[in-house]
Structure 1
């Protein structure tokens, strides 16, 4: 009897132990090996406009309580994300991707009863930012170098404002201009000057005169060609200076009027008119200038010969004046995009003069006057020229 009772008690104890073990195994299915209960959050990210899946979108999970970052993931090629090992609790999702506005998905709860949460489709809205107007400005350099020439952009040189082509030449590298306005390139005056790539009547003494009649404001750039190609008839020249004038290409009637005043009695002005019909452009221009240049000099010299000392003093005053005007008119005929026929006629009038007074005196060692001399000289030069080009 006792054995039977003992056997019944043993069976009951064994049965209770098995039930307890099974209950523990059933609750341990959503636990880590030694960590807290974990779950899974899944979903799919789609473009709100095209409904196409978005690949490589960044999905981050935050705690709802304090916005602490918990974990995250990235969508695959089908736009699906799968975030595992999520502890039980309340969360919200934040989705980010380049070109899209960040989006929040609240109310994500992972619980023992619902360890796997599928938030479904998330329609991701493309983001746009309205930018203010952007202006890109590019400026020409003062001096540009190409394979066959050096280009000086005159409009970038403030020093030539209000001057003439002669003043421009004085600021061009490798070009020198003497007191009479004669132009030389690298010390040699054997050069050819072109205007808009065409030969001009600028040669000899008249070259400086005509350059004086071209306002600096009408020059766009100057090209220096020190090694002329077969395109030019070099004839042993040192080089070529090509003066490129500004051109107004707007259709209809347009013009430019400019006046300049400078210290030392320097005045010049110009009028440039154009009437562009598209294939044909009529142009006319008038310019005039007047300038006076003053100068003075003083020298003191002492010569001693055989115990005799002589002192020489010399004072000079000089005044140079130049006045000139010119008119030019013609027409441009556009044959095609690469060929242009120009017919023009120009007339120049130049009046130049100078006066100089030189006072010379000599004294002995005791400042006794030995001789006194005054020399006055007057020069006057007038010149007119006509130029027809085709």
Structure 2
């Protein structure tokens, strides 16, 4: 209780300091400032229309004199022009073109306000449902890149992992691990929040979210001080579909395929000030078969070699589900509340059938062992959110309180069955039980205060406290034969309980300003203090982890040019606390030739990011060029040694330094509103070094990493739509070797019917390839390992979607806020039991 009171006092003290009134006065220029402003709304709903392109035209020649892009609230400002007669043209895919009558700008009347501009959707309204045409798949905003997943029909029947593969600047491997510009240390939010399930394992959490529920993916490469300091690579925000509805509706979506099926139901009810949402879906994966090959060669001190060959057939089955209940209430014009409860489950069974291990000393076979390995990775979680927001008459002024409680229960077990010498009967078995629980409680306060009378200066400040607790109860058992009783191993290294408490208290301030008409500035400073307490049930294992405080600055600059072109530069410092996978001391020995164990004493990583980008727009083309440099110190890297029985043992230390020099290029082309093509190329040069001097353990590696994607969409007559997608990731440089590259592709055709209430389609994935094979390599002075993972993921599927009920859309009157926690460094290459996925 004493600690809690101290935390609350800290939070309110920070707010009290930040809440001192600040004044800003606008300086008037001696020369007139020519400016045209307006706000773009959608006809019928009066909802703001973001990201429309606005052009200032010469009525006689039709030449463009200036340009701009509407912001998220549909507002735009045209500047950088002089006295004259003009027309304004507004374009956005899915809406009819808007053209004003002639506007006269003089020195005596330099400012003109168009007021509200109403755009008309190209599609017609059906009963009470408004259907709009397809917007651009990729949009460029001042501080983020947005991928509109709701317009990608090839994603039907997929999950969030499939969506991520289509997003520029992101790369996703075959296991669903996401990286941004080569860094896997990223903050992943869902509607601005992060739950314990995402903190536990991002790749598995993404598989619980169906693609049909995702509206867009926002990629923020240079986060401001408002965001948590974690996430070296940046921030990814998954925005799910939300409607401001009056009435009731039920939406059914399903997919059945060769390797997976899903079924989802979502209902909405809105009457007056109160709204309810109830939704759920389940997804099953089956018939996922593949292969595993491993060749590891160990060189002994006397120069002799030991060569181990492993082969196995693999089988995977999985079941995912997520269910949620949401509530919102408009108290009055200025106050509203939201609350939600969500439940999720993730059950995975991974099997290696006939894992044959042959050991050769020099050229002579010395042993041959046959095993069956059965791994269970089970997970269930609950999230409870409550948010209160107060707005004011002054535009953009807002105060909010957000809270989150999240609990994630995990079971990560394996049974390794060893056959006798004739490979006919099971001689013995080893079992590892690893039960875990991750809990979070978060309170966050945010205040947005525009300075002065205009919108060119905004001050944001707030405070946050996150209490986390992770527990792992692990034990090893042995048994004789196929039905003998399991007996627990009495060894604290194999059977113990581990708890890890983390308390992060933070305060931040961020200042945003527009200066000299076309220049933007956003600067901020965040301070975070982290206290850690780790403990084993058995006191013989000591863990003393010191507390630490960090200042995290950020700076974003922008320069607008004519026609909406923009140049941006940014710097920020990020911290990456070690993910629980790296910390968990449970020994993972599902494959007895390659075992791993986490390190509870790891420190955080620190990264400095520098970035510059340029975006340009034409009538049908969008281009973005970005270059960046990232420097990480105290990088968490694996340390691999050879144990006495020639087993490769992996743990983790803060011994690495990483430098990455990268670039990304992406483009989007739209022709006549029927055909669109977009693609991107991402690449970086990685320079890694673990900083050790002992030649047996010193390691460094360098090389280029490239990835690319291409998406095409064509709208056919009679409500048919054809879409295709392809993705490729090249060989990935790692400190001690490399991870193999791979590619995938898909084709989808979709037909809408019954006044677009329903759709049915057919999809095919990787239809020219029977099995993907990914080759990974590990090289140290005394270890050479090459492994090949095969997966048969050719898939054919049928998709069906239908909407029941009538909706009337109303404009959103508020921005929804919520808790956005980032947890810690993801991955761990197999370290650990309950707090990771094997």
Question: Which residue number in structure 2 is paired with residue 296 of structure 1?
Answer: 291
Q: Aligned equivalents of 2:350 and 2:331: distance in 1?
A: 48
CA RMSD of aligned residues (A): 3.5
1:166-177 paired onto structure 2 within 5 Å: 166-177=161-172
Q: Which runs of 5+ in 2 are unaligned?
A: 1-121, 125-131, 298-305, 387-838
What SS does the corresponding residue of 2:206 show, helix, strand or coil?
Answer: helix
**Contact (CA 8 Å) 1:166, 1:211: kept in 2 or not?**
yes
Higher RCO (C-alpha 8 Å, min separation 6): 2
- Residue from 268, 285, 295 that aligns with 2:279: 285
Structure 2: how far apart are the matches of 1:313 and 1:233?
Answer: 45
Tell me whether 1:389 sits opposite 2:385 in the alignment: yes
Q: Which residue of 2 is the match for residue 219 of structure 1?
A: 214
Return the alpha-carbon distance in structure 2 between the equivalents of residues 301 and 206 of structure 1.
28
Question: 1:180 and 1:337, CA in 2 relative to 1: closer, same or farther beyond 3 A?
Answer: farther
Residues 175 and 318 (structure 1), Cα distance of their counterparts in 2 relative to 1, 3 Å cut: same
- Which secondary structure state, in structure 2, belongs to the residue aligned with residue 320 of structure 1? strand
Q: Where does residue 348 of structure 2 map in the other structure?
A: 352
Give, in whole Å, the separation in 2 of the partners of 1:384 and 1:245.
Answer: 21
Cα distance change, pair 195–278 in 1 and its aligned pair in 2 (3 A): farther
**Alpha-carbon separation, structure 2, partners of 1:260 and 1:237:** 36
| Pairwise CA distance, 1:170 | 2.3
Give a deviation string over 1:216-263, Cα, whole Å, max 9, x none: 001111000111123323346421111111123331111211111222
Distance 2:374 2:271 in 1: 51
**Separation in structure 1 between the aligned mates of residue 332 and residue 164 of structure 2, nearest angstrom:** 33
How far apart, CA to CA, are the structure 2 residues paired with 1:227 and 1:311? 46
Report the CA distance shift for 1:196/1:278 in structure 2 as closer, same or farther (over 3 A).
farther
Q: Residue deviations 1:136-174, cap 9 Å, x none?
A: 975322211111000001123333221011221122222
Q: CA offsets, 1:305-335, max 9 Å, x none?
A: xxxxx99975321112221222110212245
- Asked if the contact 2:187–2:231 (Cα under 8 Å) also holds between the matched residues in 1, the reply is no
Determine if contact 1:210/1:348 at 8 Å carries over to the other structure: no
| C-alpha distance in structure 2 between counterparts of 1:143 and 1:346, whole Å | 30
Write the mapping of 1:176-255 to structure 2, written as runs, cut at 5 A. 176-235=171-230, 237-255=232-250
Aligned with 2:198: secondary structure? coil
For 1:33-182, list aligned pairs within 5 A.
138-182=133-177
Distance 1:297 1:222, change over 3 A: same
How far does residue 362 in structure 1 lie from its aligned partner after superposition? 8.1
Contact 1:251 1:278 in 2 (8 A): yes
Change (3 A) 1:163 1:299: same
> CA 1:339 to 1:220, structure 2 compared with 1: closer, same or farther past 3 Å?
farther
> Over alpha carbons, which structure has the higher Rg?
1
Aligned to 1:268: 262
8 Å contact from structure 2 (residues 262, 282) kept in 1: yes
Whether the aligned pair in 1 keeps the contact of 2:123 and 2:133 (CA below 8 Å) is no
Q: Are the aligned partners of 1:256 and 1:271 in contact in 2 as well (CA < 8 Å)?
A: yes
> What displacement does 1:339 show?
6.9
- 8 Å CA contact 1:202, 1:210 repeated in 2: yes
369, 383, 387: which is aligned to 1:373? 369
Q: How high is the TM-score relative to the length of structure 2? A: 0.27
> Gapped runs of 5+ residues in structure 1?
1-133, 303-309
The alpha-carbon distance between structure 1 residues 296 and 337, as it changes in their structure 2 partners (threshold 3 A), is farther
Alpha-carbon distance in structure 1 between the residues aligned to 2:344 and 2:137:
30
**Relative to total residues, which structure has the larger helix share, 1 or 2?**
1
In the alignment, the residues of structure 1 paired with residue 187 and residue 294 of structure 2 have an alpha-carbon distance, to the nearest angstrom, of: 39
Q: How does 1:24-39 map to 2 (within 5 A)?
A: none
Higher strand share: 2
Task: Please report the TM-score for the alignment, with normalisation by the length of structure 1.
Answer: 0.56
